[in-house]
Structure 1
Amino acid sequence: MVADTDDYTFLTGGTVLGFDFCLTFVREHTPDQIIARLGGHQPVTLAGAHTLRGAAETVSAWPDVHGDTHRSDLLFAAAVRCADWTMLLGPEGPSWSGEAVSFRPRDGGFRWVRDDETLAACALGDRGARALTERLTGVRVTPEFLAAARFRCAGVPDPDRPAPADRVLREAREELVDYAEHGDDEQDPWLERGVVEKCVCDTGDYGVIIHDEDEELARIIAYAPADLLDRILAWARDRAFRRVGVHGAPWFAPIRDRLDRGVPVPADELRRADRRLAGRAASAPGVVRAMLRPPSSDTPAGVVCEAICDAAEAEDGDYRTVVADLRDDLAAGLAIELPPRPHRRETATALRRRLAAADAGWYAGL
C-alpha cells in the first residue's frame, strides 16, 4: 500500500516537532548509534510521540530558579527502531554508511543514500516524498505506532553553530531526564513561561512561538478586537502568498476566496495547486498546503498566530523579520491598550530545583 497524502499529517502542523523537521530512515544503525553520530550525549527514553514537542522545547531552552530562560542552541533528535530501519525525527544527519532515506514534510525535499553514494536527491513535493519513502523502506508510520513507540532522545549540536561545551550537552540530558520523570507537570508550555493570562494561553502552541519572539505582540494578539485580528490575518496570508508567488494569480483566486470565507478547500483543488507549484521554490507547496488546511487553533487569536508562523516558514523560518515587519506595517493598529501584566508564576522545573537546593542546604546544616 502506498502512503496517501494525509498519512503523515499527525507529524506536521505543530503536533509533534512543529512544521520544520526531517524524517530519516537509516538501515544498519541502532537509535543510540544515530544519536551518538549526531553528537548527542547519553540519550533518554521517552514513551509516545506526544512527548516529543515538549522534550524538544526542553532541550532548546531551560529556566533557572528565577524563571529566566536560557537558550542552548542545541537541536533535538528522537530515534526509534522500525523493523530493519531506525527512524530519526529531527535534524538532517550527516552521510550515513549503509542506507538512508529521508524527506522534509515542510517542502517535500527527498534524499536516498547508500554507502555514501547519493542515489536520488530532489524536491518531489510532500505527497511524492512520503509515498516514495514508504515504498523504499517498506515502513508505514501510523499514529498508533507513534503513540506506543519508545524514542531515544537527546539534544545534539547544530552543525551551523559553534560546537557546544560538554556541560551544555550534559545539562540538556539532565533536563530531558527531569522531563521524562515529571513530564505531566510541564506539558503546558505557558506554565514553563510563567504566563497566567487565559486569553494568552488560549492562543496555543503557535502563540507560544510568537511569545518567544515578541512577548508583547503575543499579548496584543490575545487582547485584540475582531477587526484587528482580521487585519493581521490578511497581512500574514498576503505575505506568505506573495513570497511563494501565488498572490494575485488567476488560478489561485478561487482557492483564496474559499480561505477568506472560511470554507474548506477540496482535496482535488489542493492537488492541482501542488502540481502548479511544483516548479517553484522548494518550500512553496508545503507552505501553501499549511495555510490552506483547516487551522488547528481553537480561538481566533490562535488562528492569527498560526498564520503568522506559516508566513515565517515561507521565509525559511525567519520569524524575527516577519514579526518586525508586522510591527512596522500595522504599527498604528497594534497600539492598543493592554491590562497590566499579572505576576509570573515560578516554572515547574525551577520550583523543583529551588526546593531541592533548599533541602540540600537544610541537610548540610544538620
Structure 2
Amino acid sequence: MEIKNFNKYKIKWNIESETVIKPGLETIQSALKKLDNPQDKHKVIHVAGTNGKGSTIAFLTALAKEHGLSFASFTSPSIVDVHDQIQINSVNVTEKQMDEAFLHMHDRGIGGMLTDFELLTVTAFVVFEAMELDIVFIEAGMGGRLDSTNVMKHSVAVIPSISIDHTNFLGDTIEKISWHKAGILKNNSQLVIGSLSVSAKTIVYKEVEDKKATVLEYNNDFHMKNNEYSYKEYSFSNLKPQMIGKHQQSNMALAITALIESGFELDESSVQTAATNARLPGRMEKINEHFYMDGAHNQASIDALVETVQEKFPNRKIHIILGVLMDKDYIYILRKLEEIASTFEFVNFQNKRALNANILYKHCMNSAKIVTLDASMIDLEKKSKNGITIVTGSFYFIAEFREKTGF
C-alpha cells in the first residue's frame, strides 16, 4: 500500500523498501539496532485494538497539550499524506525533519531491509529521538504482536476494543485476533482496556498473567458516569467530549488512565478542556451542520456509526456516500447502513484494494442508489440541503474524497 508522498524521500535518499505487508519483528529490530534503538529513548503509550485507536490518541494528545507536556504521535493511515502520520506537539513533521531522519538512516545503511510501513515506523522513531519529549503516543498499524510498532522495551499498553477485522492477517476468530492485540503488552508493565467480550478478555488476561503485568479495565477499575471520571483518588467531573458517539466516553477514560499510569499528574480543569478540544479527522467528523465524514470500515465501527446516527439524527433523511476496500465485509456494511440510509452513492477511488462501486450497487437492497466514478463529480451542496450526508468506508477513500472535493 503506497504511503502518499513517502516515495520522494526514499528516492531522494536512495533508501529502498517493499510495498508489501510482512508481519514480524526481526527485520525492523535489526534496522533499529543499526540506529542505536531510538524507540527506547522516551516514555511510550502504545495503542492497539480494532476500533478506537485514533480517538484514544486524539484524547491523549489533547490531554498532553493541556497539561503542558511535550509529546509526539505516530498514527496511520494518513489523512492527507505521510507528514500527518508523524506529529510533534500536534504539528505535522516537516520536510526538513524527514530529510534529517532519512540522511541518518541512509548513513546507517538500512536501505533494502524493510517494508514501507516498517521504514515509516523507523522514521518516526528517528524523528522523535532528536527531540526532548515527555511522552510518545504510538498507534499499532495492524494487530499488535507482530506489528512493526511493537518494538519498544517498555510502554503502557492500551486496547480500546477487539472485533473482527484484517482476518487474512490476524485470523478469523476473536480469540486469534485478541492474541495479536494482547501482544503489545510488555513484561511487568500496565495494560488499560475498554469493554471487551468474554472471549477477548480470556486471551488478554492470560497474556497479562504470562507477562506478570497489571490490567485496568473500563467499568471495573476506572469509570465514566454522568460525565464524571473516577479512578483511585482521581475524580474529574463535567467531562463533555465533542467527538460524537457513546464510545468516546470510554476512549477518553482510557486516555486519562493511561496518562496517569505513565506517571503524570492531571488536574480537573485541564482534563475538562482536553475533553472538549479533542478532535479526530475522519471519525464522525462534522464538516458542517449537514455533512459528516466517518471511516467506518469494519463490523464494530459500522455498528457504532449506525447507532450514533439513529441517536443523533432520528427522522432525518440520511444520504450515504460509500467507498470500501475489497477485503472488507461489504455485505455486512451494506446491510447495516441500509437500516439508516435514505439514499446511497457508491464511489470508485484510486487504490489497488478498492472495491468496484458497481459491486456495492449490485448488492445494495435500497432502490435509491447510484454509482459515481469519481468523488470530484459529487454535488455535496445539493445533497446537504435535504437531510444529512455521511461519507464513509475506507480511510483511503475519505482521504481521496477530501483531496478531490476540498473538504
Q: Is TM-score (shorter-chain normalized) higher than 0.5?
A: no
Q: Which structure has the higher relative contact order (CA within 8 Å, separation 6+)? A: 1
The two structures have a TM-score, normalised by structure 1, of 0.25
Give the structure with the larger helix fraction: 1
